[in-house]
Structure 1
Amino acid sequence: MPDTGAGLAIAILPEATQACVMEEASDPAGHKWYRLGFYTVANVKYNVDGWVRAQGDAEAPGGGTRIAAATRGAPEAARSEASTPQVGAKEAFFSNGWSLDNSRSRLNFVTIKKGTVLETQKFGELAGSISPDGEAEVKIKLESVSTGIDIRDVRMRFVLFDIDQFPDATITAKIDPEAISSVFDEARMTYDLPVTLTIRGISKDLSIPVIISKLGDDLVSVASAAPVMVSTADFGMEDGLKQLSEAVGNIPITPSSPVTFELAFVPAS
């Protein structure tokens, strides 16, 4: 009965299989009641509510008992032992704040030169949080840019990003807890997230489709559902891009980059 806390069940199953857990409770009159606590399909868990009473003096379902077809409200004993803890877990999940786990997060962008040469770059230092009411902020330390070539990293830090004046880029957003509440039961959902991206002191509002995944009670992932295009013209970086091009023999560099990310959040301490 994992949902009620009355024990622990672990199963390792092939992806195509299905599994379920049945809960049992008795009311003051001695009648047995059963509830399908949850079932899984393709490794996705679905919670089920509603109790049924066993017919006559039937034994538990595992012994071949038939169960009445009509569902009824759970007996009081079952409600107190099973339903309430699950509701409490859901409330706790959304009432606590979350902190970004840099070690399990990534933010990549792709540069395009000569029109056809694609190179993937990344930022190594991210920090962020989500407050209990859904206020979210992620800071990207621009000095942590990593392209695989040291001299190019230095040029991007000081010529393109101007880290002496603008050490961080920031992403701020407001997440509606009600709108994403289904992720607690369904484990995964797509959500159109309005964000404000600020680079070099210039802010731009964007709407980004993200995939929010509940990977456990202590781990949530927020990932881009598709690449997000970021243009140097939107953040005053045209001159810096021109200087980068000149430094490598006037090789043309596309002035926009697709950005992808996967951000891991753990409960705030």
Structure 2
Amino acid sequence: MATRHVMTAAGCFAAMLAVAGSAGACEFYEAIDNRTELFDKPDSGAGLAFAVLPETAQACVMEQAADPAGHKWYRLGFYTVANVKYNVDGWVRAPGDAAPAGTTVAAVSEPTPVATQDEPAKPQQGAKEAFFAKGWTLDNARSRLNFVTIKKGTVVETQKFGDLSGSVAPGGEAEVKIKLESVSTGIDIRDVRMRFLLFDIDQFPEATITAKIDPQAIGQVFDEARMTYDLPLTLTVRGISKDFTVPVVISKLGDNLVSVASASPVTVSTADFGMEDGLKKLSEAAGDIPITPSSPVTFELAFVPAS
């Protein structure tokens, strides 16, 4: 991500978009040259990354802040790629940021056994096995599942589901339930139309994701705290199931917090789940506007030990 710069033609276009649909005015615009993670809050360790911004994007910076370690962060209102606007609300690390002189971030570590005259020091035994032997429960408050819709060919909007639940068993069997009634688009009438015309929640109130995670295959996350893993999963919507293999980033954020996030958007098509008629009704209800029949989906799921 480059430093603050003079507004380019793309920046001017972004400014017009800001006037048209942003929640507030941009303080300035920032060029994003590299793939950049978007976090839910400016925090030196506890924030959750819930999206990845692509290269060569133009970002609208709404606010600036510093985390407890003194690092500088920017809050983005939206970004544009090839003159297409993507609404977001999250934080990215400011370019060229470094901790102020003398600032340190304390690291929490396990106590090291102390050697005695009679017995040499031994590494902690069983911690890794105990970590993977836990059952895990999805923490809805720290989880996100977003999808992008495109109407009229160019209008891009980010929607989300607010009610998620799930678990991962000690053997790696995982299930996530998505309450379709919790769809949130920012417009009440559109939420109602999607619930009943597209998802048909009276008959199909939930979508489910099932997967089997191999504890041995992800063993390195215990030592390295973060890894990428190709996760085979099954998505079931309206009683129809489809298999996907999704690259995910698994992060060990502590002994009692694990994050599983999409490494890149997953494209889901209405045709795969018998939703063509529902999409047509949704289009007609909105004035016969064309709606792209597929959506990129991203997620960040936080898990805590089962009680």
- TM-score, normalization by structure 1: 0.72
Structure 1 CA distance, aligned partners of 2:70 and 2:291?
49
Equivalent residue number for residue 116 of structure 1: 154
Structure 1 CA distance, aligned partners of 2:106 and 2:166?
37
Q: CA offsets, 1:102-157, max 9 Å, x none?
A: 00000000000011100110000000000000000000000000001111111100
Q: Which runs of 5+ in 1 are unaligned?
A: 1-11, 29-75
Structure 1 CA distance, aligned partners of 2:294 and 2:140?
25
Q: Secondary structure at the match of 1:253?
A: coil
Equivalent residue number for residue 106 of structure 1: 144
- What is the correspondence of 1:209-228 to structure 2 with a 5 Å cutoff? 209-228=247-266
Distance 1:140 1:19, change over 3 A: closer
Amino acid at match of 1:78: A
Q: Secondary structure at the match of 2:291?
A: coil
- 8 Å contact 1:136–1:175 — kept in the other structure? yes
Distance 1:18 1:109, change over 3 A: closer
Amino acid at match of 1:184: F
Q: Which has the higher helix share?
A: 1
Amino acid at match of 1:233: A
Q: Which runs of 5+ in 2 are unaligned?
A: 1-68, 72-97
Structure 2 CA distance, aligned partners of 1:222 and 1:258?
17
Q: CA offsets, 1:195-251, max 9 Å, x none?
A: 000000000000000000000000000000000000000000000001111112211
Q: Secondary structure at the match of 2:219?
A: coil
Equivalent residue number for residue 179 of structure 2: 141
1:165 aligns with 2:241: no
Q: Secondary structure at the match of 1:251?
A: coil
Given the alignment, which residue of 243, 263, 283 partners 1:205? 243
Structure 2 CA distance, aligned partners of 1:19 and 1:247?
55
CA drift of 1:92 comes to 1.1
Equivalent residue number for residue 296 of structure 2: 258
CA drift of 1:77 comes to 3.1
Structure 2 CA distance, aligned partners of 1:137 and 1:107?
14
- 8 Å contact 1:27–1:78 — kept in the other structure? no
Structure 2 CA distance, aligned partners of 1:245 and 1:234?
18
1:267 aligns with 2:292: no
Q: CA offsets, 1:143-197, max 9 Å, x none?
A: 0000011111111001100101100000000000000011011000000000000
Give the 4+ runs in structure 1 shifted more than 4 A.
12-24
- 8 Å contact 2:113–2:121 — kept in the other structure? no
Q: Secondary structure at the match of 1:229?
A: strand
Q: What's the % identity of the aligned pairs?
A: 79
Equivalent residue number for residue 9 of structure 1: none
Amino acid at match of 1:77: P
1:174 aligns with 2:212: yes
Amino acid at match of 1:25: A
Distance 1:123 1:25, change over 3 A: same
Amino acid at match of 2:121: A
CA drift of 1:87 comes to 2.7
1:77 aligns with 2:120: yes
- 8 Å contact 1:219–1:267 — kept in the other structure? yes
Number of positions where the alignment pairs a residue of Structure 1 with one of Structure 2? 206
Q: Secondary structure at the match of 2:125?
A: helix
Equivalent residue number for residue 53 of structure 1: none
- 8 Å contact 1:158–1:164 — kept in the other structure? yes
